[in-house]
Structure 1
């Protein structure tokens, strides 16, 4: 029996301007989470949305938010005070969500601003004073600006919490509660995340009005791992891991690749060693200033480099559909970190490969992850960089060498140094915003172009 195609954004009643902008990016039909949430969200219903990473949550909340701010009689005309607010846990995710919303709202004249740490305050204050309609921001910087009197939240009609479980893990709950107290009680609230632990559901129901909980997949735990992702796990000696990775990076069909390291120093070291072997590599870690992190991510997105070595700070901020391989240099600390890491590949229907190198001292940790996710992979083989089994499992050509060319510089390989010899932490406390808007005033009256 033929499977019916998912409905288009047009069929679900999305404004023509938004549909045209999406179609210009090759997006016409909805993913499951979008198909389920759009009719309710467009009507102003509070929603708890759950779907795996990479399966369309951003447009699931972004499209109805733009549509309602753009042309919903129940929401006052835009007047330079934010009508929509999206809260995200990390700077990288803030940038990515802001870009996605810009593309979707390109024909609406709505002004979208991203607010996150690591940027000068003056930039964002100037943008807020010039007028914004939708804000995407991280909790800490939003609170800073609100307490300074630079951020007006009294006009927010649609509030979104994205990756709520991550915000809970990062300790943002007090900031979230302050923001919730500052926005109007009469509003639409949408909460989206890949996972939805009990504390998040309890929190949601304290500030949401009769929310509808939508899951885009089955309730089985193993569904949190993409079916399109091939998982390869094996024991690897610590001294051989970079050599193993150098071989993996020469596998047939290998495209953009993300390597996750546990520490900032580890990410810098792995990137540097791969650069010495001739690979095009960049790095992202917490000791890098925000401009440097953005340059690294931009280089990866544009294809100037095809290998990104990152700590988990970047795990939820990279939204690129064609990442072919994810490599865990060490075993993640828990099963959810594993899910989020390997969720960078096998996205949006693409196939992908997730590889985990398990050290001798990490066997128990891996067993716990395997058992928690019902992977049935607790017993794993031991492979070295020259093991024929490794080459066979990952389609690595016979006879490849570790070094593929002359040594190359690595963007962000070494953490910046402060005068005390440790990583410079001054940039951590600096927060800022990057304007994503086009500076134009929205049209008034009936702004929606009818089909």
Structure 2
């Protein structure tokens, strides 16, 4: 397959070839014609599948030339590092000197950024919170935007940037919306549902070839922390199956909290690895836990755990996925013939990290069915969150309108001019008032 299949301009084909990209990625083949045709698109694919290159090429193709006074493409990303990465992609692929591309993040003074925007710009790459702040200062003109693009969209949700994203989307009268993400979940779907118009959802699944053998792994997908806790309590009630268990969390504080919440803190066989407080029940080494017959569950914080062999531990729970995915990968790579199963609890916000782990391992981790008697504590809370989110949007919209109209004082009802009268009619009305 050749790049010509993407129907790119010759300069873009040359730029891609110069970078060593001689054939299109799957995500590009499946989305480019739809994007160039103006359709809203949701593209889901793992890290490294070519999502960023796709929308950079599509943006340059759709806008054709630069030199505008107001932005025609707004690209929203979660971090400063991603802003700089996207700008670098444009620099590599853009051979049209007329395009003006501006990056907006929190490390540059806002007045300086407003000045860059008002000097004329074609494409803005920004963190949503800073873009919103500049918009409210009337420094970001959204009237001419033709394309609004969200990259790493699941990370935008994870960082709580739904409000500025929705405000910016609402400020644009009509445009094409493109969403690029590693995973799709309920919170992300809720963020984009108000502005996406009949989007095409394209998913690609480019796993690396499996090069390692791993211990068995299972994933339990749950809505929140409390449901994770309910699930762990439920599973660990089976003392015959789960007779020796390690539960990994990310911080020592979470380890202490979990030890108090498990079985309401009344279990005598639950311990913490290197506890925060000297009077807490715990173990200073993994080996000491292994040989103690009265100890069944050890809660371990990744932040203070020196990796050691897990042989002799038949079940490992990852209550939280490690922030460093290499930790997880090293634990599940099979190095000896022992019985070990990794059971992983994840929420929507941890799905991207799970996908990265699967990509590195070259295999999908099987999803386990949730027990029928599991108490799931998400429905009422989700409803409340949605209601709160809607109220925040309404309040933000009211603030925005008030900000824009601050210079205009409404007329009193008595002074409001609602009808045009001739001078003769006015005279008659005044006469009637005097003699009334």
- 1:106 offset after TM fit, Å? 3.3
Question: Which deviations, in whole Å up to 9, do the C-alpha atoms of 1:200-252 show, x marking residues without a partner?
Answer: 334434212221111123xxxxx8x65457586798988899xxxxxxxxxxx
Give the aligned partner of residue 105 of structure 2.
116
Give the aligned partner of residue 133 of structure 1.
122
Say how many residue pairs are matched.
264
Find the aligned partners of 1:233 and 1:91 in 2 and give their Cα distance: 37
Find the aligned partners of 1:94 and 1:240 in 2 and give their Cα distance: 44
CA contact (8 A) 1:326 1:353 kept: no
Give the aligned partner of residue 193 of structure 1.
181
The match for 1:100 among 70, 73, 89 is 89
CA contact (8 A) 1:54 1:343 kept: no
CA contact (8 A) 2:70 2:144 kept: yes
Give the aligned partner of residue 46 of structure 2.
52
CA contact (8 A) 1:102 1:112 kept: no
Find the aligned partners of 1:67 and 1:198 in 2 and give their Cα distance: 32
Structure 1 unaligned segments of length 5 or more: list them: 1-5, 72-76, 218-222, 242-261, 271-310, 316-324, 355-368, 375-451
- 1:371 offset after TM fit, Å? 5.7
Give the aligned partner of residue 334 of structure 1.
346
Q: Secondary structure at the match of 2:201?
A: strand
1:326–1:150 CA distance, 2 compared to 1 (3 A): same
The match for 1:39 among 33, 37, 44 is 33
Greater Rg, structure 1 or structure 2?
A: 2
Give the aligned partner of residue 55 of structure 2.
61
1:339–1:232 CA distance, 2 compared to 1 (3 A): farther
Find the aligned partners of 2:215 and 2:109 in 1 and give their Cα distance: 43
Structure 2 unaligned segments of length 5 or more: list them: 217-245, 249-272, 275-283, 287-300, 307-321, 332-341, 370-436
CA contact (8 A) 1:87 1:161 kept: yes
CA contact (8 A) 2:46 2:356 kept: no
- 1:333 offset after TM fit, Å? 7.5
CA contact (8 A) 2:182 2:355 kept: no
With structure 2 as the length reference, what TM-score do the two structures score?
Answer: 0.52
Find the aligned partners of 2:163 and 2:367 in 1 and give their Cα distance: 30
Equivalent positions of 1:217-366 (< 5 A) are 217=205, 226-228=208-210, 230=212, 326-327=326-327, 334=346, 340-341=352-353
2:14 matched to 1:14? Answer: no
Give the aligned partner of residue 239 of structure 2.
none
Give the aligned partner of residue 71 of structure 2.
82
Structure number with the bigger relative contact order (C-alpha 8 A, sep ≥ 6) is: 1
With structure 1 as the length reference, what TM-score do the two structures score?
Answer: 0.50
CA contact (8 A) 2:12 2:94 kept: yes
- 1:327 offset after TM fit, Å? 4.2
Give the aligned partner of residue 421 of structure 2.
none
CA contact (8 A) 2:6 2:28 kept: no
1:229–1:131 CA distance, 2 compared to 1 (3 A): farther
2:208 matched to 1:208? Answer: no
Q: Secondary structure at the match of 1:175?
A: helix
CA contact (8 A) 2:43 2:180 kept: yes
Q: Secondary structure at the match of 1:11?
A: helix
Give the aligned partner of residue 398 of structure 1.
none
- 1:87 offset after TM fit, Å? 0.7
Give the aligned partner of residue 137 of structure 2.
148
Question: Which deviations, in whole Å up to 9, do the C-alpha atoms of 1:125-148 show, x marking residues without a partner?
Answer: 232132211111111100111111
